[in-house]
Amino acid sequence: MTTITITAFETSPDRGRGLARDMRVRWALEELGLPYAVRLLSFEALKQPAHRTLNPFGQIPSFEQDGIALFESGAIVLHLARTHPGLLPADPAAQARATAWLFAALSTVEPPIVERSMAALFESAKPWHEERLAMLDGRVRVRLDELSAHLGQREALDGGEWLDGAFSAGDLMMVTVLRRLESSGILADYPGLAAYIARAQARPAYARAFADQLAVFERSQAANS
């Protein structure tokens, strides 16, 4: 087996907050105990042919190992979880449910959250901004209400702390998606979700992944000062 190589921002616009999508791949690698190398790319390098052969959309993260080259953070995390024990249950039905949660994070919960963050970041000067933000907040809250209710049921049923049984790739993905709301203040209205995120962040693998991506940002700042 050759070394796993992933790509990440040379200087992340999130300033080391671990919100860029290499964080979920780093976290999965740490959960699985897999060593890896990181190729850091500038925004310019992302759009060069060399990187587009790995990711046609010119984005991070990508993954390479033993002739397998992947893009899309969800595909990368799923590949890792399927090929190494630790992030998916062995039982086929439980494995399918954990995979469903990974897709739910990416295709049901993440889109309204990303749309809201984009509006907050780039549309604040528009005359219709407040009205649109309120509408987008409402869409996010529908999903948070539903997710919160699900986690509440899990806890009431058997003290379950995660989306379905043990911590899985589905929880890992959901937590990285929810973290994008940190600066919005919305999570303060969802103590159950805030506690769920905090439980995940208390995992040693999360701490290692977070520290590694933060170190990249800090080095980039030191080099530019």
- Which residues contribute to the site for ligand GTB (CB under 6 A)? 13-14, 19-21, 43, 46, 58-61, 72-74
List the one residue out of 66, 74, 56, 55 whose CA is nearest residue 169. 74
Residue nearest to ligand GTB (CB): 59
Nearest distance in Å: CB 74, ligand GTB:
6
Nearest distance in Å: CB 116, ligand GTB:
13
Nearer to ligand GTB, 148 or 213 (CB): 213
Nearer to ligand GTB, 4 or 60 (CB): 60
Nearest distance in Å: CB 18, ligand GTB:
9
Q: Is the dihedral of CA 92, 96, 102, 105 positive or negative?
A: negative
Residue pair 3/35 in contact by the 8 Å Cβ criterion: yes
CB-based contacts of 14, cutoff 8 Å, min separation 6: 20
Nearest distance in Å: CB 127, ligand GTB:
26
H or E element that contains 71: strand 68-71
- Separation CA 63–CA 65 (nearest Å): 7
Give the DSSP letter of residue 108: I
Nearer to ligand GTB, 72 or 137 (CB): 72
Nearer to ligand GTB, 89 or 111 (CB): 111
- Separation CA 155–CA 191 (nearest Å): 14
Nearest distance in Å: CB 43, ligand GTB:
6
